[in-house]
């Protein structure tokens, strides 16, 4: 456990990833957009969104997975038709 904590602290901490995240966001957003986001996340709604972001992503992934599973038979039929 201590070894894993040490490893993740070294490579997955905010300090370790900070510069990489800056590059990612700078590739996707203009400076004005980044400033607008900073302003938004300082509001109560922005703070709430930030605190809920992980759970929203998890729920979205679960929703997608359940929809695929629900219709897996149809997907398999479509793929079988392609192979014929």
Got the DSSP string for 32-79?
A: HHHHHHHHHHTSHHHHHHHHHHHHHHHHHHHHHHHHHHHTHHHHHHHH
Q: Would you place residue 73 in the very low, low, confident or very high pLDDT band (cuts 50, 70, 90)? A: very high
The pTM score is 0.63
Q: Would you place residue 64 in the very low, low, confident or very high pLDDT band (cuts 50, 70, 90)? A: very high
Residue 66's pLDDT is what?
97
Q: CA dist 74 to 45, 70, 71, 79, 80, Å?
A: 40, 9, 5, 9, 10
């Amino acid at each position: 456990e201590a070894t894993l904590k040490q490893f993740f602290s070294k490579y997955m901490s905010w300090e370790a990833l900070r510069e990489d995240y800056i590059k990612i966001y700078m590739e996707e957003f203009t400076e004005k957009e980044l400033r607008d986001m900073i302003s938004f996340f300082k509001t109560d709604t922005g703070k709430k969104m930030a605190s809920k972001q992980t759970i929203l992503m998890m729920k979205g992934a679960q929703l997608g997975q359940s929809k695929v599973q629900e219709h897996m038979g149809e997907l398999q039929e479509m793929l079988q038709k392609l192979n014929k």
